[in-house]
Amino acid sequence: MTWLHVFILIPFIFAIFVPLIYRFTLPRIHTGWFVLAVPFGIFLYLLRYIPIVSNGDNVYHSVPWIPSLGINYTTYIDGLGLIFGLLITGVGALVVLYSIYYMSKHREALHNFYVYLLLFMGAMLGLVFSDNILVLYVFWELTSISSFLLIAYWYQRKKSRYGAQKSMLITIFGGLAMLAGFIMLSMMTNTYSIREMISEIDVISTHTLFLPAMILILLGAFTKSAQFPFSIWLPDAMEAPTPVSAYLHSATMVKAGIYLVARFTPIFGGSFEWFWLVSGVGIITLIYGSITAVRQTDLKALLAYSTISQLGLIMSLLGLGSAAMYFDVGDESTMYAVAVLAAMFHLINHSTFKGSLFMVVGIVDHETGTRDIRKLGGLMSLMPISFTIAVIGSFAMAGLPPFNGFLSKEMFFTGVLNASELPIFGMQTFGIIFPIIAWVASVFTFIYCMILVFKTFTGKHQPEKLEKEAHEAPIGMLIPPIILASLVLVIFFFPNVLSRALLEPALINILPSYAATGGTNIHITAWHGFNTELFMTIGVVGFGALLYMYLKKWSWIYSLVPEFLTLNNAYNQGIEKMESLSLGLTKRYMTGFIRDYLVYIFAFFIIVLGGALWLLDDVSINRVTNAPISIYEAGLVIAMVIAALAVLFSSSRMTAIVAVGAIGYLVAILFVIFRAPDLALTQLVVETVTVALFLLCFYHLPEYKKEFSRVRFRLTNLIISLGVGATVTTIALLANGNRLFEPISTYFQDSYELAGARNMVNAILVDFRGMDTLLEILVLCIAGLGVYTLIKLRLAGRDNE
């Protein structure tokens, strides 16, 4: 195991010790100070890979996991994975530092919070550094589970439980679809390695499973990254504590779907279906999120929809940029590769400005007691540092200079304009849609950014509507957003340092054909002259400012959309319908009668096994190896049948018990005829004890007062019993006459040489299957102790009475 494997596992290992740390350090030291060392240490470790990756080298390590199935825990660090790894640990360290001051060590269950956070951190690291698709899937679902726990951290609140359930249902659904797509890919390529799959592109692209696998994998990506129409889970996930929102829902978890699309672009990119599905869903999500964000009155809800919008922007860029794989290496390939570089650039920029904004909103909520925009205002003079951070983050999200969001937004405009001129995929006709939607969405993005800043920090202060007296947050809570806001400015002035170190290596991993260009054809700069992109930006600012000033004049349009047409209502109605349907179905088969349950079980048994025997044409009973049936054996079988019928038709409990015992003793005689004295003795002992216990139990049962009534005949019972008997008998005869392997009895014939035992049955019970026998005895001992305990409790209860 390499150091990289160890560092990925460290969050899981440390999570085991967090409850102990919490117990022995509270209330002296906040648990977060110990947890902070985990993401910070891993972040420093990952920094050493930047020179390696920027030189075009990748790091590959593999540890066998299930080698018989070809499943290994393979880690793979390249430019794409390193970007996500640094975001996960870097932002994670800042979030942990922020949580130390946000989460009270006296009122919160910090051990639970940090255990869930570390589980999520480890799962995300394992996800982005996994080359094996099955290992990736395990970590993928672990992110869903840990995020469920984090969203439901304040489980006392109904909205927290609701949001956690919604996110779990939607993301797990997508994860299962993604798993099916992964299995299809492995069937096409006979490998679980993503790197090896990329080398088999020719095989995959011509396979009949190409399109189904693509759609299923995209379902996983779209649900995780809150793409339309699966975006409804993200706003409800804002019920989580603000550090969770800043970490999961701006920098990490919602970017997992982006990572998946980027990672599989070399396999599916360049195809018509991938291009339109990824770019189409992304651009729809962009416009949906930006328009919906404007109508929000809760600051975190506004940030939630803005996150949906920004994720749609990144997704659309990845889809548009995938067209570069359609062309040979050259100017055209580089022209469309700009969109992919813009996606990766905006991915980093979004983590910086959105992370800082989430933290500022958390500060406002923490220091005023509310996130309702209608109650806020005039906080600029009371919280000047928070106001400054909010301005930097919001203006960066709005795409204004001198902030990093301006650079990636300009590249976004360049990407959609280039894509509108694509000579393929029908873009000659529909390509103009992308620049138009991009510009309209940017206008609404500008509006909600202005709402976030000016509605919160300017205007009239309303202390009577606040739950707390507003004041600036402590310096410890301000340091993380200050660092992120500083990065917003630094990246604007030195974007090409980031580009050469991380963005271009990631671009080569997403578009392998771009490697031939040497990665030197794209230069990020703030000024490109008076071009179309600049005029689009001027239009966004001018028209956006106008709409913001007259917001009250036109915001009534939102009320025209009826509630029953919303996606949330469709989800709620769907859940209610499924619950009522499942309840009705459950009531149909959960009748409370054991007979009905046995009917279902045995009917299923007959249909599945009997149907399989019917469909298999080559199944036959081999009579050659059958021994002749003697008159004694036939007589015993007839006697057992008569005894069994006596149990069915007896009108006395005593008669039924005696008939059951007779069947057991007749079986023991049959063992004697088959020359199995040990089995015969065992059967006699067991049958004697069983009959005695039956009689003892019935002796102590209360007297049956009602008149005994004979059980009426039911044709269903007769059919099912005959069907089960016929099916089992047929399977037994088939198994005896059709041997696929050497019988195991030949192995046990050497019991004396193998175990030193002359008796084969004893050797099996004591030596060959000794552990099974030991566990069976243990089960019987536990059952006996349970019975003894119940008797003692009952006697103690009587004494107390």
d(CA 443, CA 466): 31
Picking from 239, 219, 243, the residue whose alpha carbon sits closest to that of residue 229 is: 219
pLDDT band at 704 (very low <50, low <70, confident <90, very high): low
Check: CB of residue 237 under 8 Å from CB of residue 249. yes
pLDDT in tens, 72-128: 888 889 999 999 999 999 999 999 999 999 988 777 788 899 999 999 999 999 999
Looking at the chain, the whole-number percentage of residues with pLDDT higher than 70 is 93
Check: CB of residue 263 under 8 Å from CB of residue 132. no
d(CA 233, CA 163): 7
pLDDT in tens, 491-510: 999 999 998 889 989 998 89
pLDDT in tens, 289-302: 999 999 999 999 99
> Which DSSP category does 382 fall into?
T
Q: Give yes or no for residue 50 having a pLDDT over 90.
A: yes
Q: Give yes or no for residue 420 having a pLDDT over 70.
A: yes
What is the predicted pLDDT for the residue at 332? 60
d(CA 104, CA 92): 19
Amino acid code (one letter) for 287? I
What is the predicted pLDDT for the residue at 628? 78
Between 391-405, 536-550, 721-735, the lowest mean confidence (pLDDT) is in: 721-735
Looking at the chain, the whole-number percentage of residues with pLDDT higher than 90 is 46
What is the predicted pLDDT for the residue at 766? 79
What beta strand segments (E) does 247-296 contain? none
Output the CA torsion sign for 685, 691, 696, 697: positive
Helices (H), 295-403: 299-321, 331-368, 384-398
Summary count for the chain: helices (H), strands (E): 38, 2
Picking from 76, 54, 511, 53, the residue whose alpha carbon sits closest to that of residue 318 is: 511
Check: CB of residue 21 under 8 Å from CB of residue 34. yes
Q: Give yes or no for residue 516 having a pLDDT over 60.
A: no
What is the predicted pLDDT for the residue at 330? 53
Q: What is the DSSP string of 154-177?
A: STTSHHHHHHHHHHHHHHHHHHHH
pLDDT in tens, 744-771: 777 777 777 777 777 777 778 777 778 8
The three-point CA angle 417-419-421 to 5° equals 80
Q: Give yes or no for residue 653 having a pLDDT over 80.
A: no
How far is residue 468 from each of residues 159, 369, 377, measured CA to CA in Å?
23, 6, 14
Return the exposure string of 231-255: e unless at least 16 CB atoms fall within 10 Å of the residue's CB, then b: bbbbbbbbbbbbbbbbbbbbbbbbb
Task: List, as own/partner pairs, every contact residues 483-487 make where C-beta atoms lie below 8 angstroms and the sequence separation is at least 24, other chains included.
Answer: 483/94, 484/91, 484/94, 484/352, 484/353, 484/355, 484/356, 484/359, 484/393, 485/352, 485/353, 485/356, 485/388, 485/389, 485/392, 485/393, 487/352, 487/404
What is the predicted pLDDT for the residue at 705? 56
In SS3 terms, 582-638 reads as: HHHHHHHHCCCCHHHHHHHHHHHHHHHHHHHHHHCCCCCCCCCCCCCCCHHHHHHHH
Q: What is the DSSP string of 652-717?
A: SHHHHHHHHHHHHHHHHHHHHHTT-HHHHHHHHHHHHHHHHHHHHHHHHSPP--SPP-PPPP-HHH
Between 470-479, 483-492, 519-528, 572-581, the lowest mean confidence (pLDDT) is in: 519-528
Q: What is the DSSP string of 439-460?
A: HHHHHHHHHHHHIIIIIHHSS-
Between 180-189, 603-612, 651-660, the lowest mean confidence (pLDDT) is in: 651-660
Q: What is the mean pLDDT of residues 321-335?
A: 70
What is the predicted pLDDT for the residue at 624? 66
Which position has the higher pLDDT, 692 or 702?
692
pLDDT in tens, 459-479: 888 888 888 888 888 998 999
Helix, strand, coil % in the chain, rounded to nearest 5? 75, 0, 20
Which position has the higher pLDDT, 204 or 70?
204
Check: CB of residue 73 under 8 Å from CB of residue 132. yes
Q: Give yes or no for residue 67 having a pLDDT over 90.
A: no
pLDDT band at 186 (very low <50, low <70, confident <90, very high): very high
What is the predicted pLDDT for the residue at 623? 66
Check: CB of residue 425 under 8 Å from CB of residue 272. yes
Q: Give yes or no for residue 333 having a pLDDT over 60.
A: yes
Q: What is the mean pLDDT of residues 518-545?
A: 84
pLDDT in tens, 434-464: 999 999 999 999 999 999 999 999 888 888 8
What is the predicted pLDDT for the residue at 619? 65
The three-point CA angle 222-179-582 to 5° equals 80
The greatest distance separating any two alpha carbons of the chain, rounded to the nearest whole angstrom, comes to 107
Nearby residues of 55 by Cβ (< 8 Å), 6 or more positions away? none
What is the predicted pLDDT for the residue at 731? 83
What is the predicted pLDDT for the residue at 593? 83
Amino acid code (one letter) for 576? E
d(CA 260, CA 282): 14
Between 173-187, 726-740, 786-800, the lowest mean confidence (pLDDT) is in: 786-800
What is the predicted pLDDT for the residue at 317? 94
Which position has the higher pLDDT, 776 or 71?
776
Check: CB of residue 12 under 8 Å from CB of residue 115. no
Q: What is the mean pLDDT of residues 546-568?
A: 85
pTM over 0.75: yes
Q: How far is CA 343 from the centre of its chain?
A: 24
Nearby residues of 315 by Cβ (< 8 Å), 6 or more positions away? 225, 227, 257, 258, 261, 278, 279, 281, 282, 285, 343
Strand 71-77 vs strand 59-66: parallel, antiparallel, or unpaired? antiparallel
pLDDT in tens, 342-352: 999 999 999 99
In SS3 terms, 721-773 reads as: HHHHHHHHHHHHHHHHHCCCCCCCHHHHCCHHHHHCCCCHHHHHHHHHCHHHH
Secondary structure (3-state) at 77: strand
Output the CA torsion sign for 511, 514, 519, 523: negative
Q: What is the mean pLDDT of residues 165-186?
A: 94
Picking from 355, 345, 366, 365, the residue whose alpha carbon sits closest to that of residue 389 is: 355
pLDDT in tens, 188-230: 998 899 999 998 888 998 899 999 999 999 999 999 999 999 9
What is the predicted pLDDT for the residue at 392? 96
Nearby residues of 101 by Cβ (< 8 Å), 6 or more positions away? 473, 474, 476, 477
